[in-house]
């Protein structure tokens, strides 16, 4: 049982109240984001300083996804370490020394803090500074925190990117205008967007995180940035502190979201509307065609979102407007009102938005809503499946390439598959 408090905002005109809850969470911690970050930055290595629990989480989360020598590991804090902090710094130095000797391909070493390292107040930023002095300029050592039972797994990426922004060179006030796309995207998606920006005539485009640690973009007052992911609160603040300007937009999910996202960048860089139309028309057409084939499976089905990734409002907007799904409750761990303003504006007025989590109460609300599909974490999926509900693991939506025109159909497929599977099971029974 959880000790919880719930409150409802006074309803805004025409919209159901947002439910704020603080209670028991059913989410992974920020370490999980290393699973996709280590594949993104190809010369970085993530060294988690944590316990056996952290190592087990990473092993089970990574599962079958490790094919080659991994680019992350856990330096285990043993019980005996808890009493001797001085030794712990020495041990960490020794682990790093051995690792860097064995892996000359590592150009950026990322020390990742965990609950155990924070409980014993092991200052990893200081350790990173010390190790940096030793290993620069060949290797860079940085640190961020991936811990937290009160956070969500995508916040790990936010913390990492915020730290990375500190490492970016400073762009002078008279530097040429540049665009930074912040938020991990699959390489294939990044390449597609690069080609579109190029066709639009937008120059000096960089994606953060970069694929290589020595290619970090310079950031300054002439930098504008687009968010590719909705969970980058801290990273966005750091970019703004460097003088960069946020380009508000929908997130690039589905035909509508991708078009609006690209249009926001195009307008910010003064791209001629006719050129925008010509460049994006074929992609829009392909995305619309791909989505047509999912109408039968998705249209009219009702979906319920538990709060996991912070992608929920953007996914809900896509599913309701482009796939015809009915929305019951959209739960999100945190709603960044400014970054999500365009998304929230497009949601149906009667949808229930909930922020934070109180899992027991939310399970009750889910039963009451009786949706056709539930988007939730792994811990909730199995019990719901056993009750006869179709579920979708929210973490899959972060691992899979879903942004952009070419992926609009794949995104719909992720929601159609569990519905088809459930329908097939019903026939067999």
29 vs 374, which CB is nearer to ligand SF4? 29
Q: What tokens were used for 285?
A: 């057409």
Binding segment (CB under 6 A) for ligand SF4, from list 50-58, 125-133, 157-165, 419-427: 50-58
Alpha carbon distance 422, 390 (integer Å)? 6
310 vs 328, which CB is nearer to ligand SF4? 310
Query: How would DSSP label each residue in 163-189?
Result: HHHHHSPBPPTTSPPEEEEES---HHH
106 vs 115, which CB is nearer to ligand SF4? 115
Tokens 């979906």 map to which residue? 303
Coil vs helix vs strand at 88? helix
Of 34, 35, 37, 54, the residue at the interface with ligand SF4 (CB under 6 A) is 54
CB of 418 to ligand SF4, least distance (A): 27
Q: Is 50 in the site for ligand SF4 (CB under 6 A)?
A: yes
Of 27, 37, 57, 249, the residue at the interface with ligand SF4 (CB under 6 A) is 57
Rounded to the nearest 5 degrees, what angle is found at the Cα of 128, between the Cα atoms of 65 and 38? 15
CB of 21 to ligand SF4, least distance (A): 20
CB of 363 to ligand SF4, least distance (A): 22
Tokens 């930023």 map to which residue? 125
CB of 87 to ligand SF4, least distance (A): 21
Coil vs helix vs strand at 222? coil
Q: Is 24 in the site for ligand SF4 (CB under 6 A)?
A: no
Q: What tokens were used for 417?
A: 């598959």
CB of 193 to ligand SF4, least distance (A): 32
Beta strands in 316-351 (DSSP E): 326-332
**Axis crossing angle, helix 254-268 with helix 273-292, rounded to the nearest 10:** 170
CB of 145 to ligand SF4, least distance (A): 9
- Give the x-and-dash track for 105-124 against ligand SF4 (CB under 6 A): ---------xx---------
57 vs 219, which CB is nearer to ligand SF4? 57
25 vs 140, which CB is nearer to ligand SF4? 25
Alpha carbon distance 69, 324 (integer Å)? 43
Residues between 230 and 269 that touch ligand SF4 (CB under 6 A): none
The span from the first CA to the last CA of the chain, in angstroms, equals 35
Q: Compute φ and ψ for 312, nearest 5 degrees.
A: -55, -50
CB of 122 to ligand SF4, least distance (A): 13
Is 362 in contact with 6 (CB distance < 8 Å)? no
Alpha carbon distance 115, 74 (integer Å)? 13
51 vs 154, which CB is nearer to ligand SF4? 51
CB of 123 to ligand SF4, least distance (A): 16
Q: Is 149 in the site for ligand SF4 (CB under 6 A)?
A: yes
Alpha carbon distance 81, 238 (integer Å)? 34
Binding segment (CB under 6 A) for ligand SF4, from list 17-25, 46-54, 153-161, 323-331: 46-54
Q: Is 377 in the site for ligand SF4 (CB under 6 A)?
A: no
Alpha carbon distance 207, 217 (integer Å)? 8
Q: Compute φ and ψ for 402, nearest 5 degrees.
A: -125, -10
Task: List residues binding ligand SF4 (CB under 6 A).
Answer: 29, 31, 50-51, 53-54, 57, 114-115, 147, 149
């Amino acid at each position: 049982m959880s000790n919880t408090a719930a409150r409802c905002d006074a309803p805004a005109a025409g919209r159901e109240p947002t439910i704020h809850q603080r209670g028991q969470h059913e989410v992974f911690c920020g370490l999980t984001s290393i699973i996709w970050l280590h594949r993104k930055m190809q010369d970085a290595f993530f060294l988690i300083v944590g316990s056996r629990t952290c190592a087990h989480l990473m092993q089970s989360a990574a599962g079958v996804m490790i094919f080659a020598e991994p680019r992350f590991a856990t330096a285990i804090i043993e019980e005996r370490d808890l009493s001797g902090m001085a030794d712990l710094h020495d041990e960490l130095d020794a682990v790093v020394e051995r690792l860097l000797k064995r892996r000359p391909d590592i150009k950026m070493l990322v020390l990742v803090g965990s609950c155990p390292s924070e409980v014993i107040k092991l200052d990893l930023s200081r350790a990173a500074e010390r190790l940096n002095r030793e290993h620069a300029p060949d290797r860079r050592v940085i640190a961020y925190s991936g811990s937290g039972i009160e956070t969500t797994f995508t916040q790990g990426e936010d913390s990492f990117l915020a730290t990375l922004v500190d490492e970016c060179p400073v762009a002078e006030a008279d530097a040429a205008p540049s665009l930074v796309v912040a938020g991990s995207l699959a390489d294939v998606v990044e390449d597609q967007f690069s080609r579109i920006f190029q066709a639009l005539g937008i120059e000096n485009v960089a994606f953060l995180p970069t694929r290589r640690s020595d290619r970090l973009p310079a950031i300054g007052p002439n930098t504008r940035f687009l968010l590719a992911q909705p969970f980058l609160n801290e990273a966005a603040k750091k970019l703004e502190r460097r003088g960069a300007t946020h380009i508000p937009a929908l997130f690039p999910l589905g035909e509508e979201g991708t078009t609006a996202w690209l249009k926001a960048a195009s307008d910010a860089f003064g791209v001629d509307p006719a050129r925008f139309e010509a460049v994006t028309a074929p992609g829009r057409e392909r995305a619309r065609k791909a989505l047509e084939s999912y109408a039968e499976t998705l249209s009219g089905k009702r979906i319920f979102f538990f709060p996991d990734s912070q992608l929920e409002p953007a996914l809900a907007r896509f599913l309701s407007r482009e796939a015809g799904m009915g929305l019951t409750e959209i739960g999100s761990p945190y709603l960044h009102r400014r970054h999500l303003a365009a998304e929230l504006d497009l949601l149906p007025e009667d949808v229930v938005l909930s922020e934070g989590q109180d899992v027991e109460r939310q399970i009750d609300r889910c039963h009451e809503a009786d949706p056709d599909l539930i988007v939730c974490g792994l811990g909730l999926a199995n019990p719901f499946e056993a009750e006869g509900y179709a579920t979708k693991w929210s973490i899959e939506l972060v691992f899979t390439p879903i942004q952009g025109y070419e992926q609009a159909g794949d995104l719909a497929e992720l929601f159609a598959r569990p519905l088809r599977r459930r329908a097939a099971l019903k026939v067999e029974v």
